[in-house]
Amino acid sequence: MTKFPESVWWIGGVVATAILLFGATRADLTHLPPESPFDNTRSGHAQQWRFLHQASTHVPAGVTFTIRAAEPDTEMNLYVMAVGLLPQATAIPRTYYGQSVADSSPARFVMTFGDVADDLGGAGRTIAVAGGTVTDLGSPQP
């Protein structure tokens, strides 16, 4: 075996390992153990995940729900995540690929992520969760 080409491989392996370790040390592993699969990705997904996870405990199986957010993209993200996080309820999108879903039937539960103008008119019973609220439009106000 020729020595020089082999050395190049070993140097490459050491350099690639060093680059990997450098990246790993820059990772901000502040949320341990993670509550969501995205806790240390520095993306907004973790916050959205935690909101949905908390909100899901107030939404029973078999009901319909929809999600409101200030940005259409965030609303879409929350909707697609909610399909997996609340599989026993039926998610009704308000926004899908940037388009408002005008003909969506009214949902019993409305999850509101972040600050959104209140157009629910004080209807139903609202519970505060981390990152937003959950409103049950099928229940009378307390």
Partner 1 sequence: MTTVVFFTATLAVPFLFGLPLLRRSSSCGCSPAAGVAIAWAGGTVILTVLLTMLAALGIPWRPWLVTAIALVAGGVAWRLPASRPPREEKMAQPGWPTLVAAALCTVVASAGLVQLAAGAATSADLSFSWGVKAVRFALDRGMDFQWMQLPHLIHLHPNYPPLWPVSLAWGALAAGSLPWTAVPVVTWVYLVATGVIIHWLLRRPLGSRAAAAIVVVWFAVLTGSAMRSFSGGSAEGPLLLFVTVAVTALVVENRHEAPALRWLAAGALAGAVLTKSEGAVSAGLIVAGTAIRDGLWRRREWALDAARLAAPTVAAAGLWAAVKIAHGLPLTDPIRERALVVTFDHIDVILKVCARLLFDGGLWVGWSAPLVATSMTRDFRPLRALPGLFVAGGLPLFAAVYYLHAEGNPLELIVWTFPRLIQPAVSVWIVSLGVICFGDKDGKGNRA
Count of CA atoms in the C-beta half-sphere (13 A) of 10:
5
127 binds partner 1 (CB under 8 A): no
Residue count at the site for partner 1 (CB under 8 A)?
Answer: 51
Single residue of 59, 69, 81, 111 touching partner 1 by CB under 8 A: 81
Q: Which residues contact 139 (CB under 8 A, 6 or more apart)?
A: 124, 125
DSSP 107: P
- Residue 74 engages partner 1 in binding (rule: CB under 8 A): no
Q: Which of 57, 70, 87, 128 binds partner 1 (CB under 8 A)?
A: 87
Under rule CB under 8 A, residue 100 binds partner 1: no
Interface with partner 1 includes 16 (CB under 8 A)?
yes
Does residue 57 touch partner 1 according to CB under 8 A? no
How far apart CA 48 and CA 53 sit, in angstroms, is: 9
**Binding residue (CB under 8 A) for partner 1 from 57, 70, 71, 88:** 88
Backbone dihedral angles phi then psi of residue 100, each to the nearest 5 degrees: -70, 135
Please select the residue that binds partner 1; options are 66, 69, 83, 108, rule is CB under 8 A: 83
Bond from prior residue into 33 cis (ω within 30 degrees of 0): yes
Q: How many other C-beta atoms lie within 10 A of the C-beta of residue 6?
A: 10
In the chain, where does DSSP find H-type helix?
Answer: 3-26, 45-56, 72-85
**What residues make contact with partner 1 under the rule CB under 8 A?**
1-2, 4-6, 8-17, 19-21, 23-24, 27-29, 31-41, 43, 45-46, 49, 77, 80-81, 83-85, 87-88, 92-93, 96-97, 101
